[in-house]
Structure 1
Amino acid sequence: MARVSQEHLDARRRQIIDGAVRSFTQGGFHATSMQDVLREAGLSAGAVYRYFSGKEELIAAIVGEVFGTVRGAFEDAANQDPPPLPDKLLGQVLNIVLNGRVGGGSIEFPRLVLQVWAETLRNEELAAPLRQGFVEMRAAWGGLVDAYREAGLMPDDVEPDHVARTMMALAQGFIAQRALFGDAEVEQLEGGLRALMRMEVPKVS
């Protein structure tokens, strides 16, 4: 029997994840069955269950991909000289998540993110990778703060974790707006953040 190449295995796994994302965004996490995922992916039960035991593993894989993609974008930014300012960086990262390979660039993808967040409140199997991703993202932003300091863009007394939590809150809030109201654009977030970054306390004469 011919040995299946790693490229083929990776492509099949990609096909399953993309099908799951489409299914979950269309029908919701709880209303979607594994049969729905099978139909959307166009594969047999045996082919899918070879990679994933159920919906929880599929969601965990999607969460891992999103965090991995975002973390990679932050690490790339930290290696630039100088690194992009927060408004541009956050816009770049959100565009990658919304329009990139993860989720197939689905406009409904933020809705899936909200479903995952809600599900983690009751499902420890999903909560664990989300918490781990949160820790890794905070560390990635800590590296960016170091890069900002070295470039003379940020004072030495800034607490990296404060910056990390603030920027992540902005990204999460944007995703929530996009999912709930649909009219949030990345350019709006960039412009608003840029305006806030330019604020100065008036000098008292």
Structure 2
Amino acid sequence: MADIIAESGLSAGAIYGHFEGKHDIMMAVAQQVIGSRVSDLRDYAAGGPAPSPAEVMAHMLPGMTRDLAQPPLLLQVWGQAMVEGEMRELLWHVFGDLRDTYTYFFVAWAQEYEGLDEAAAHEWAARLLPMAIGLGQGFIVQSAVFDDFDAEAYLASMREFLPH
């Protein structure tokens, strides 16, 4: 909280006028980041063919790290969620939104390009989903940890291996 207060330029009393605590601040940030990424992806896909899983991921990941500004902070949140129930609840909520978004686009693509019916497309998307989430987490971890992380190379190899 001290870092958040210092960065905001507000006093401790003023920050608590906007938020009850750390959980509320983190929830607001997470909803803003995921919300803007989902909105951006929907705009990107509007009126055109369903984007492939590779396009969905390549569109989402750079924006997430750009919106977060400091990916190492996200790693701290993930670590804190392992020992704090409210933070774990926050992560479940955020990853739930992300999973729903990925599922929506993966199902649409599978129906349009693979010719799968709705049930089969949902089964296919459910198998792809854990890998997509893991690729996103890997992108964030590596961008936070490795000074020489090559985001473009990561995205290029991801495009090569995901359905496109």
Whether TM exceeds 0.5 here: the answer is yes
Change (3 A) 1:61 1:197: closer
Q: Which residue of 2 aligns with 1:21?
A: none
Q: Distance in 2 between matches of 1:58 and 1:47?
A: 13
- The one-letter code matched in structure 1 to 2:85 is E
1:60-79 deviation digits (Å, cap 9, x = unpaired)? 32222222233334444554
Of the candidates 152, 158, 163, which is equivalent to residue 187 of structure 1?
152
Q: Distance in 2 between matches of 1:127 and 1:170?
A: 20
Of the candidates 137, 140, 148, which is equivalent to residue 109 of structure 2?
148
The structure number with the bigger radius of gyration is: 1
Q: Which residue of 2 aligns with 1:129?
A: 90
Gap runs ≥5 in structure 1 = 1-32, 199-205
1:27-46 aligned at under 5 Å gives the runs: 33-34=1-2, 36-46=3-13
Deviation at 1:148, TM superposition (A): 0.6
Q: Whose helix proportion is higher, 1 or 2? A: 2
Change (3 A) 1:117 1:39: closer
Of the candidates 71, 75, 78, which is equivalent to residue 117 of structure 1?
78
Contact between 2:80 and 2:87, CA under 8 Å: does it hold in 1? yes
- The one-letter code matched in structure 1 to 2:18 is Y
Gap runs ≥5 in structure 2 = none
Per the normalisation by structure 1, the TM-score is: 0.66
Change (3 A) 1:170 1:140: same
Aligned sequence identity (%)? 28
Q: Which residue of 2 aligns with 1:6?
A: none
Q: Distance in 1 between matches of 2:115 and 2:144?
A: 33
Please give the secondary structure, in 1, of the residue aligned with 2:18.
coil
Q: Distance in 1 between matches of 2:89 and 2:162?
A: 34
- The one-letter code matched in structure 2 to 1:183 is D
Q: Distance in 2 between matches of 1:38 and 1:167?
A: 34
Of the candidates 45, 48, 60, which is equivalent to residue 81 of structure 1?
48
Q: CA RMSD in A?
A: 2.4
Q: Distance in 2 between matches of 1:55 and 1:133?
A: 16
Contact between 2:56 and 2:105, CA under 8 Å: does it hold in 1? no
Please give the secondary structure, in 1, of the residue aligned with 2:58.
helix
Deviation at 1:152, TM superposition (A): 1.7
Say whether 1:48 aligns with 2:9. no
Q: Which residue of 2 aligns with 1:66?
A: 33
Q: Distance in 1 between matches of 2:47 and 2:148?
A: 32
Deviation at 1:196, TM superposition (A): 2.1
Contact between 2:23 and 2:87, CA under 8 Å: does it hold in 1? yes
Larger relative contact order (C-alpha < 8 A, sep ≥ 6)?
A: 2
Instruction: Extract structure 1 runs of 4+ deviating beyond 3 A.
Output: 73-80, 153-158
Q: Distance in 2 between matches of 1:84 and 1:186?
A: 20
Number of residues paired by the alignment? 159
Change (3 A) 1:189 1:83: farther
